[in-house]
Each structure stands twice: as C-alpha cells, then as structure tokens.
Structure 1
Amino acid sequence: MGEAAHIRFDTIPSFLGASVGDLEDLVPGQVAMAGYFCDNLDRPAAGQRYLARQLRYASRPGKPPENAIDLGDVNVFPLEPNKHFSAVIAQCEAVLETGARMVLVGGDSSGLKALGSAAKNATGTDVPVIPVAGENAGDLPHTQPVILSVDLQQLAANWVSKPRCLTGLSPEQMIARIDATAGKIIAAAVFGLAPELDNRGRTETLAALSILQAVTERLERGVG
C-alpha cells in the first residue's frame, strides 16, 4: 500500500479515534463499538440513525481508548423487520461470543432490544438491562452480566436541540451514573438522539461524545 493510501486510511473517522477493525480482530475483554443506522422501528424519530456518523466526525485525533475498536456499522434492513432483527442479533451475538464487550451506537431503541437478545443467546441466560436514567441496581453482584441502556432522550432540554421534555439529566449526571453502574457490563446501547447536522447540533453531539467516552471507559474497566 502506497503512502497516500496509508494517509487516507489513517484519517477514516472512528469513534473516539479508536482503531478500525473487524470481527476477526477482536480479543476477550476488548470493547467493540458499532454504529446502528436505524430509527424507524421502535420509538421512531427521524434522524436518530445519524448519531454514529456525527460522533465519528466529532472525534478528534488524540489519545484513543486503550482497549477499544471501531467495527463500523452493523448491517441493517429497516424495511424488513424480521430480517433486520435476525441480522442485527446475529452480528451482536458474534461479537459477544468472542469475549469482547459491545457498544451499539445510534438509532432508536430497537437496537437495545436486539442487543438484549444477542446477549441472552451468547450467555445462555437473561441479561438484565440497567437504564442510566432509572434506578441504578447497585445491589447487583459484581460478576452479574448486565447491559447498560443509555437513552439520550433523557438529557436535559438545554443540552439538545429538539428536547422531548424540560427536565432531565446533564451529561455530567449521566456520566456519574454510568461510572457507578454495578455488575459486569458486557454490552451497552447509546441511542435516542437525532443530532442536528449543522452548527446547532454541536452542543448535543459533543455531549453525546463525552457520554460515549464514559461508556467505553466503564466497559474497559469490566467488573464494577
């Protein structure tokens, strides 16, 4: 590969500046981030599918996560729901079966449902979903596998351009809850935000990016 090709590859936007890879590159304990380009199946709201793209664009070169990789986007079929869920569940399950932890970024809450099914298939048992904006299950055993649900619709109105409610959490409050989540987080979904694609979306995109950073660091830590 020539020098020019290397430069083009090295500048591919990725989540948090993490290296870009594939399923074959994953090792146990690694954090695999993947985009979810679907926003018309569960609590649909146009534009949520763009979150992954915007977070990649907003990520700046610097110190990337120590043990994370950007897998690109999962394959989706939003106009064929049955095929869609089967495909997304299978892809997420394949990631979890490597022993890696997975973060699904963007889209609507259907991604969280698919991730839950994949975790059940991969572990052979139901995996509790812990919502960041809900009651944090602090009494969970440290070794209990859990899925972290980060619904960005729960951000306070002054942090988003299209608020769903006046009250909510600041990014700092969400990050504190993420850090305090008990259990062994094997997967997380960050979803629910339809970022504006111009300068109006800068505040919400950077808020979501800081939250993704916190989620990745929490999953890198493993048992909480």
Structure 2
Amino acid sequence: MGDAAQAQFDMIPSFLGAPVGDLEDLVPGQVAIAGYFCDNLDRPMAEQRYLARQLRYASRPGKVPVNGIDLGDVNVFPLEQDKHFSAVAAQCAAVLETGARMVLVGGDSSGLKALGSAARQVTGADVPVIGVTGGVAGNLSDNQPVILSVDLHELAGIWMSRPRRLAGLSPSQMIAQIDATPGDVIAAAIFGLAPALDNRGGTETRAALAILQALADRLEKGER
C-alpha cells in the first residue's frame, strides 16, 4: 500500500481511534469492538442503530486501548429474525473463539442476547450477564467469565438530548460500576441510545464515548 493510500486508510473513523482490522487479525487478549446496526427487535426505538457511527465520528486518537481493534459492523438481517440472531451469534462466537474479548456497540438489546448465546457456545456454559445499573455482583471468582451489559437508556435525563425520564445514572456512576465489575469480563454490549445526529447530540455522544472507553479498559484487564 502506498503512503497516500495508507494515510487515507488511517483517516477512517474508528472506535477510540483503534486500528481497523478483521477476524484474521485477532489474537488472544485483544479487545475487538464491533458495531451493531439493528434497532427494531428488542425494545425497538428508531435510530439506536446509529450509536456506533456517532461514536466512531467522535473518537480521537490518544486513548486507544493497547490491544484494541475496530472490527467494523457485524452483518445483520433485522427483517429475518431467526437468520439475524443465528448470524450475529455466530459472528460473535467467531471473535470469542480467537481468545479476543468483544464489545458490541449500538442498536437495541437484541445484540446482548446474541452475545450471550455466543459466549455459551464458546465456553460450554451459561455466562452471567452483569448490568451496570444493577450494582456489582458478588460471589464471583476472579476467573468466572462474565458479560457486561451497559444500557444507555438508564442515563439520567440531563445527559440526553431527548430525555425520556429525569432519574438515572451519570456517566461517572456507570464507569465506576464497570471498573468494579468482578470476574473475567470476556464480552460487553453497550446499547439503548438513539443519539441526536446534530449538535444536540454532543453531550450524550461524549458520555457514551467515555463509557465505551471504560469498557475497553475493563476488558483489557481481564480477570479481577
């Protein structure tokens, strides 16, 4: 690849400024971040699918996870639900089978279900899902595989361009819960936000980006 072509490739917006790669580039311990462009299945709400795009646009180099990589978007089939679920679960399983850890960004909560199915397929057992709004789970060993669920619908209204309620958590509270999550976090899903696609969405996009950064950092740590 020529210098000009490489420079143009390097300018592609990516999650947290991470390098862009593919499944074949993954190695154990990497944090693979992928977009999930689907918002019409679980708790449907238009425009949740745009979260991944907005977070890529808002990302700046400088806080890139040491082992982070942007895998692009998983392939989705939202008008064919059975095909969609099996396809997304299979793609997530392919990532986890490499030994990499995965963050699924955007869309509705159906992505979390597919991620749980993938983890079960890879580990051979049900993997507990820990929600950041439910408090830190106890009685988990350091090597217990877990999945983190970050529902941005639970952000307080002050952080939202189109608030649906006033009560909720601040980004710093969500980040504190993420940092304190016990176990071996092998995967995470961040979803539930339909970011405004104009200047009004700046506050919520920056909040979601800070939370994504915390997720990537927590997955890099692995066991706790």
Q: How does 1:94-173 map to 2 (within 5 A)?
A: 94-173=94-173
In the alignment of these two chains, the number of paired residues is 224
Q: How does 1:1-224 map to 2 (within 5 A)?
A: 1-224=1-224
Q: Which amino acid aligns with 1:150?
A: V
Contact 1:148–1:188 (CA under 8 A) maintained in structure 2:
yes
CA distances 1:78-104 after superposition (whole Å, capped 9, x unpaired) = 011111001100000000001110000
Q: CA separation in 2, counterparts of 1:150 and 1:6?
A: 35
Q: Which amino acid aligns with 2:120?
A: K
Q: CA deviation at 1:136?
A: 1.7
Q: CA deviation at 1:111?
A: 0.2
Q: CA separation in 2, counterparts of 1:82 and 1:164?
A: 31
Q: CA separation in 1, counterparts of 2:149 and 2:121?
A: 18
Q: CA deviation at 1:4?
A: 2.0
Q: Which amino acid aligns with 1:139?
A: N
Contact 1:33–1:69 (CA under 8 A) maintained in structure 2:
yes
SS at match of 1:125: coil
SS at match of 1:85: helix
Q: CA deviation at 1:165?
A: 1.9
- 120-129 or 162-171, which deviates more: 162-171
Q: Which amino acid aligns with 1:59?
A: S
CA distances 1:157-216 after superposition (whole Å, capped 9, x unpaired) = 000112222110000000000000001000000000000000000000000000000000
Q: Which amino acid aligns with 1:84?
A: H
Contact 1:153–1:163 (CA under 8 A) maintained in structure 2:
no
CA distances 1:38-65 after superposition (whole Å, capped 9, x unpaired) = 0000000000000000000000122411
SS at match of 1:205: helix
Q: CA deviation at 1:135?
A: 2.9
- 169-178 or 57-66, which deviates more: 57-66
Q: CA separation in 2, counterparts of 1:49 and 1:176?
A: 26
Contact 2:149–2:188 (CA under 8 A) maintained in structure 1:
yes
Q: CA deviation at 1:5?
A: 1.1
Q: TM-score if structure 1 supplies the norm length?
A: 0.98
Q: CA separation in 1, counterparts of 2:32 and 2:44?
A: 25
Q: CA separation in 2, counterparts of 1:79 and 1:120?
A: 25
Contact 2:131–2:149 (CA under 8 A) maintained in structure 1:
yes
SS at match of 1:57: helix
Moved over 4 A (4+): none
- 157-166 or 123-132, which deviates more: 157-166
Q: CA deviation at 1:2?
A: 2.4
Specify every segment of 5 or more residues in structure 1 that has no aligned partner in the other structure, as ranges.
none
Q: Which amino acid aligns with 2:219?
A: L
Specify every segment of 5 or more residues in structure 2 that has no aligned partner in the other structure, as ranges.
none
